[in-house]
Structure 1
């Protein structure tokens, strides 16, 4: 079934993505209240942008906004430009099952980017094979 068909049928479309931020991150341009006599004290930059502890943020959102229950953030293991190293398929699937799916109304459609951990199978999601024992399937 095509994406447009899902939308026509009224399915909730949820976009899932990850990003990162640093504790001291800020915009290069700010809104300044010109009625204040001394804005330099209020808006002065104390640290260079991008410095500080890095966090990874994962969330799901719809046309209506973010799904509050879907937010996950945690300290990044590294500070390289590629934040994807802080996420893996086990963490992603557990987050999806425990935080995102319970918050969704049925029927819903999840839209994901093509990150490797979005499509990697883990033990909980792997389908049985002909070598799988009955006891493993039953549990």
Structure 2
């Protein structure tokens, strides 16, 4: 099974539009002042993120994951965090796959997460001490 995510912007396409079938060329548009139809505004409107899983036999309908993006980010993948992805993966995707399925995914940041935050050099001394004590690591 292959899985990947993408997004769709609601402003990319018009639902219905009248088309003038008598327009035959760009020159005719210029000379007669007619229109070739409306153009959908690019990058406008709400954005939906989606993740799908499928193979040569089609998509797994029970494992669809679609949601409305709330933030205005350049990449809709930034809307998906590891916790949300893990919940979808374990509660929706895995139960809907046949036994012994193989899942192939890219290296999206939300596909992997840290089980625990480790101390960094910019942590305060008291925070490192507390973390160490919680792990039963002796601190002087």
TM-score, scaled relative to structure 2: 0.62
TM-score, scaled relative to structure 1: 0.62
Q: Deviations over 1:21-76 (max 9, x none)?
A: 1112239xxxxxxxxxx6249x9436413311011111111111111111111111
SS at match of 1:109: coil
Equivalent residue pairs, number: 101
Q: Return structure 1 stretches of 4+ with deviation > 4 angstroms.
A: none
Match of 2:94 among 87, 98, 101: 101
**Higher strand proportion (structure 1 or 2):** 1
Aligned counterpart, 1:22: 9
Match of 1:83 among 76, 80, 104: 76
Listed as ranges, the matches of 1:7-46 within 5 Å are 14-26=1-13, 39-40=19-20, 44-45=37-38
> Is 1:48 aligned with 2:41?
yes
Aligned counterpart, 1:73: 66
Q: Relative to 1, partners in 2 of residues 1:44 and 1:66: Cα closer, same or farther, differing over 3 Å?
A: farther
Match of 2:109 among 110, 116, 125: 116
SS at match of 1:93: helix
> Is 1:62 aligned with 2:49?
no
Aligned counterpart, 2:128: none
- Which ranges of structure 2 fall in alignment gaps of 5 or more residues? 22-35, 117-134, 136-140
Rounded Cα–Cα distance in structure 2 between residues aligned with 1:45 and 1:70: 36
Rg comparison, structure with higher value: 2
Q: Deviations over 1:77-116 (max 9, x none)?
A: 3233211210011000100111111110011011111112
- After superposition, the CA RMSD in angstroms is 2.7
